[in-house]
Amino acid sequence: MSSSKKSIAVLGMGQFGYQLAISLTQKNFEVLALDSDPEMIDEVKELVSEAIIIDTTDEKAMRSINIDTVDIAIVAIGSNVQSSLLSTALLQRLGLVDIHVRHINSLQENILKSIGIKHIVSIEKEMGIQVSNTLSTDRVGRYISISERHSLMEIQVPEGFVGKSLKDLHVRSQFRVNIVGIKTRVPTVNDNGEVTYVIEMTDVPDPNYPLTKEDLLVIAGTDDNLRKFIQLGELNV
Same-domain pairing of 117 and 150 = no
Same-domain pairing of 109 and 132 = no
Q: What is the pLDDT of residue 123?
A: 67
Beta-sheet pairing, 216-222 with 178-189: antiparallel
Report whether 83 contacts 55 (CB < 8 A): no
Q: What is the pLDDT of residue 203?
A: 78
Residue 112 lies in a domain: yes
Boundary residue ending a domain (90, 121, 152): 121
Same-domain pairing of 156 and 105 = no
Q: How buried is residue 161: exposed, middle or buried, by Cβ count under 10 Å (0-12/13-18/19+)?
A: buried
Residue 2 lies in a domain: no
Q: What is the pLDDT of residue 131?
A: 47
Beta-sheet pairing, 150-156 with 140-145: antiparallel
Same-domain pairing of 95 and 144 = no
Report whether 53 contacts 36 (CB < 8 A): yes
Each residue's pLDDT, cut to its tens digit, for the chain (237 residues) gives 545 678 999 999 988 888 889 888 888 899 999 999 999 999 999 999 999 999 999 999 999 999 999 999 999 998 788 999 999 999 999 999 999 998 888 888 899 999 999 888 876 555 555 544 544 444 556 666 666 677 777 888 888 888 998 888 888 888 888 888 888 877 777 777 777 767 788 878 888 999 988 888 888 888 788 877 777 665 444
User: Residue 114 is part of a domain; what is its CATH number?
Assistant: 3.40.50.720
Q: What is the pLDDT of residue 236?
A: 45
- What secondary structure letter does DSSP report for 3? -
Same-domain pairing of 117 and 24 = yes
Same-domain pairing of 117 and 130 = no
Same-domain pairing of 55 and 104 = yes
Residue 44 lies in a domain: yes
Range of the domain at 116: 7-121
Count of domains forming the chain: 2
Same-domain pairing of 110 and 20 = yes
Same-domain pairing of 70 and 133 = no
Query: C-alpha distances in angstroms, 48 versus 2, 4, 52, 161, 169?
Result: 15, 16, 11, 46, 47
pTM as predicted: 0.56
Q: How buried is residue 47: exposed, middle or buried, by Cβ count under 10 Å (0-12/13-18/19+)?
A: middle
Boundary residue ending a domain (70, 100, 121): 121
Report whether 33 contacts 10 (CB < 8 A): yes
Residue 1 lies in a domain: no
Amino acid at 185: R
Same-domain pairing of 64 and 142 = no
The H-assigned helical ranges of the chain are: 15-26, 38-44, 59-64, 81-93, 106-114, 123-135, 166-169, 171-175, 223-233
Same-domain pairing of 156 and 186 = yes
Boundary residue ending a domain (121, 143, 167): 121
Same-domain pairing of 150 and 54 = no
Contacting residues for 172 by C-beta, under 8 A, at least 6 apart = 178, 179
Helix (H) or strand (E) holding 99, with range, is strand 99-102
Report whether 189 contacts 195 (CB < 8 A): yes
